[in-house]
């Protein structure tokens, strides 16, 4: 059995899983999922019925950060796992308070009990902290870490809520960091478009270097 990644191109959780798998060079079969019409095979594999979901011969991993760590433990040529404990703290803040504020801003209509401007302010607080952290090309060094690649897809998602407003904010380091990411070969590679997977399709191993 090959290793299978159920993914959805625009999902930031799936993006960061694909980034780590691509960086590791581990051969993985990609199955692009149509979220409004989920394939039975995907539903059978994923306990949460959410993307990303990685199916290996030994286990099913349906948390994106765990998928990143799984891939990098197989092979980590760029040293993403070599980061200080502060990196794990930043990821926890991004996945917790920042993501909640992002969702309350982006999907304000779904959260009528929340003030979208107050939620945006909460998100901005985290983003300003990232800007202060970014004294070099990346969060902890001149090379990317797990924290960079785990957080960047969500910063991109927030920026795209209102890009002119995002660009007008006084966070030059953050803007540079995000621009370098969205124009990188790594991002272009994991954002290639593929047809939605259906049973019987031949495997697509696009995440492999070979």
Domain 4-78, CATH number (from 3.40.50.300, 3.30.2320.20, 3.40.30.10, 3.40.50.970): 3.40.30.10
Q: Per-residue pLDDT tens for 59-72?
A: 999 999 999 999 99
Alpha-carbon gap, residue 68 to 167, rounded angstroms = 29
Q: Is the pLDDT of residue 206 over 80?
A: no
Q: Per-residue pLDDT tens for 1-12?
A: 689 999 999 999
The structure tokens listed for 19 are 């980034």
Q: What is the pTM of this model?
A: 0.94
**What's the confidence (pLDDT) of residue 71?**
97
Query: Looking at residues 72-85, what average pLDDT do you find?
Result: 96
Nearest by Cα to 152 from 18, 8, 53, 12: 12
If you classify domain 85-184 with CATH, what class do you get? mainly alpha
**What's the confidence (pLDDT) of residue 210?**
39
Contact 145, 139 (CB under 8 A): yes
Return the domain boundaries, the chain: 4-78, 85-184
Compute the C-alpha angle 32/207/43, nearest 5°. Answer: 30
Q: Per-residue pLDDT tens for 119-135?
A: 999 999 999 999 999 99
Nearest by Cα to 166 from 138, 119, 103, 124: 124
The structure tokens listed for 1 are 């059995």
């Amino acid at each position: 059995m090959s290793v299978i990644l159920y993914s959805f191109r625009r999902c930031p959780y799936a993006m960061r899983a694909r980034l780590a798998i691509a960086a590791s060079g581990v051969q993985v079969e990609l199955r692009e999922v149509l979220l409004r019409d989920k394939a039975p095979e995907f539903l059978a594999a994923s306990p949460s019925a959410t993307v990303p979901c990685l199916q290996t011969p030994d286990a099913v991993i349906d948390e994106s950060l765990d998928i990143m760590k799984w891939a990098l433990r197989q092979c980590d040529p760029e040293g993403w796992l070599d980061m200080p404990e502060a990196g794990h703290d930043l990821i926890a803040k991004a996945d917790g308070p920042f993501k909640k504020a992002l969702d309350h801003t982006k999907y304000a209509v779904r959260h009528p009990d929340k003030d979208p401007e107050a939620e945006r302010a909460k998100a901005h607080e985290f983003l300003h902290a990232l800007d202060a952290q970014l004294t070099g090309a990346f969060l902890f060094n001149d090379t990317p870490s797990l924290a960079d690649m785990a957080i960047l897809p969500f910063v991109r998602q927030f920026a795209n809520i209102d890009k002119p407003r995002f660009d007008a904010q006084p966070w030059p380091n953050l803007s540079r960091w995000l621009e370098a990411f969205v124009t990188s070969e790594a991002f272009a590679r994991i954002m290639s478009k593929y047809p939605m997977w259906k049973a019987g399709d031949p495997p697509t191993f696009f995440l492999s270097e070979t």
